[in-house]
Amino acid sequence: MAAPQLASADPPLTVEEAKVQVAELETEAAAIDQEYVGVKESLAQSKAQLKQKKADLAAQTKKVERLRVQAGQAALAQYQNRHLDTAAKLLLSDDTEDFLSQVSTLEKVSENQNSALQDYQSEQAKLAELERSTETETAQLTKEQAELSKLRKSSDSKIAESKTVLDRLTEEERQRIAAEESQAQAAAQATAEGGSPVSSTTVPAGSSKGATALAFAKSQLGKPYRYASAGPDAYDCSGLTSAAWAKAGVSLPRTSQSQIGAGRSVSKSELQPGDLVFYYSGISHVGLYAGNGQIIHAPRPGKSVEYAALDSMPFAGARRPG
């Protein structure tokens, strides 16, 4: 979605126009958040890999240095004996019997010398490969750190734009938007719960893991959306779903893009409480099905964990973990 272009000469906005623009900007910020979380995970893996590579590199460097000394000693021994063949050494020996008894031992020493040289060459090649690999990991780490910074700035820009849109409204209009949103939430909750209050922490007897996950999500209602957060005080969309399913004993990947590969696919008509519901073509948002055509989700910056209609966003698929 293209961000609206704002200028001081823009005509006054209607409340409905402002709501649409703010929703678009905040939704774009939330989508960027999912990219950020994915890159952050990749960065953590790269850091761990680089740490291991550096440890391997240090160990290999010590090993190569030790073998270098051994190979040098072997080379020196070969040099010192280069002019004398076995017959000559036999003629020069004062103790012929002792010399002959040592021939096999000398041959074994020669084999060991050659082996030392070969080991050194082999380990030196491994060291060179580790050095190249470490350089690659370092470059990747630098790239991912830059990408994180870029994504954060982009998200902050979207949020700043949304605030600019709201600032163009009067205080009375902003209060009207807040009141409408509060009323919509109350209606959505009543619809999801069939019009009767249900304890947010009680799971019905014999319920599935999905119901356990949903009960957890209900207990988080009202907690704020926060960039790249997975609780316990705030959540982004996939942070809420992963925390909810963790409560049911199921580990989910961290981002909406990766969570769509969890469990098995289900259609809209098959949805059960706790199922994951995904939105937008790039799979940039996820919530939990709450029943009666409603979901619970952490929507976007500036909002809190809340109910929403199943079809309030472009449906992209659903999965049942576990």
Asked whether the beta carbons of 301 and 47 are under 8 A apart, the reply is: no
Please confirm, yes or no, whether 83 is among the known catalytic residues: no
> Which listed residue (237, 286, 310, 318) is catalytic?
237
Rounded Cα distance, 33 and 236, in Å: 8
Amino acid identity at 287: G
> Which listed residue (218, 297, 300, 319) is catalytic?
297
H helices present in 168-276, as ranges? 171-192, 209-219, 237-247, 256-259
Rounded Cα distance, 259 and 275, in Å: 11
> Which listed residue (223, 285, 319, 320) is catalytic?
285
Tokens of 308: 């929403």
Between the alpha carbon of residue 299 and those of residues 123, 159, 307, 316, the distances in Å are 54, 14, 9, 16
Cβ count near 83 (within 10 Å): 7
Cβ count near 278 (within 10 Å): 23
| HSE of 151, CA atoms in CB hemisphere, 13 A | 19
**Catalytic positions, written as ranges:** 237, 285, 297
